[in-house]
């Protein structure tokens, strides 16, 4: 978990560091409305398992690493920098889509969660249009009617 050990250090990042950063961002999304429910924790593990081809236990372990990293973090820049450095634009859009999936875990869009996704999209250099399309895809896939 070297990504989170020294926020000032310039380090070579591994694919595992990026996975940990994505896990931390998903946890941040789940916690942004002040309620970190069991359903959100389970959804994070499922998203991580699907995204990275992990077993359920591996996905849960990665989620727990993300929880610890998010709890220690003073900001999101360290996480978004890891993602920007490690993945191309299309995959960053997929990260925003994963964040929306967590934001919609309770079946609705909360203002705090929407604000966080906008912030993350900016930090990941994902244009508003692409982030909006990602949101629409998730809402449609989950059968959520937008207001």
- CATH code assigned at 75: 1.10.3680.10
- Here the tokens at position 115 are 């604000």
Structural domain contains residue 41: yes
Cα–Cα dist 95/101, whole Å: 10
Q: Per the domain annotation, does 137 fall within a domain? A: yes
Kindly state whether residue 7 falls inside one of the protein's structural domains: no
Contact 83, 25 (CB under 8 A): yes
Task: Give tens-digit pLDDT for 76-91.
Answer: 999 999 999 888 988 9
Q: Does some domain include residue 43? A: yes
Token pair 């990293």 is found at: 69
The pLDDT value recorded for residue 135 is 95
Q: Is residue 9 part of a domain?
A: no
**What pLDDT does 147 receive?**
61
Total domains in the chain come to 1
Give the residue numbers spanning the domain of 64.
Answer: 14-142
Query: Per the structure block, which two tokens stand in for 126?
Result: 């994902």
- pLDDT over 80 (residue 3): no
DSSP secondary structure string for all residues of 14-82: PHHHHHHHHHHHHHHHHHTTS---HHHHHHHHHHHHHHHT--HHHHHHHHHHHHHHHHH-S-SHHHHHH
Inside any domain, residue 110: yes
Residue 59 backbone dihedrals phi, psi, to 5 degrees: -65, -40
Query: Is residue 5 assigned to a domain?
Result: no
Q: Is the pLDDT of residue 108 over 90?
A: no
Please indicate, yes or no, if residue 108 is contained in any of the structural domains. Answer: yes
């Amino acid at each position: 978990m070297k990504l989170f050990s020294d926020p000032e250090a310039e380090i070579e990042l591994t694919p595992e560091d990026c996975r940990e950063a994505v896990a931390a961002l998903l946890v941040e999304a789940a916690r942004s409305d002040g309620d970190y429910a069991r359903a959100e924790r389970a959804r994070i593990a499922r998203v991580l398992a699907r995204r990275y081809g992990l077993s359920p236990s591996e996905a849960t372990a990665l989620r727990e690493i993300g929880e610890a990293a998010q709890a220690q973090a003073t900001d999101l820049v360290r996480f978004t920098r890891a993602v920007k450095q490690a993945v191309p634009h299309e995959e960053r859009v997929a990260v925003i889509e994963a964040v929306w999936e967590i934001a919609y875990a309770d079946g609705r869009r909360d203002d705090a969660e929407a604000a966080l996704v906008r912030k993350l999209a900016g930090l990941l250099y994902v244009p508003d249009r692409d982030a909006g399309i990602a949101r629409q895809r998730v809402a449609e896939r989950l059968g959520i009617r937008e207001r």
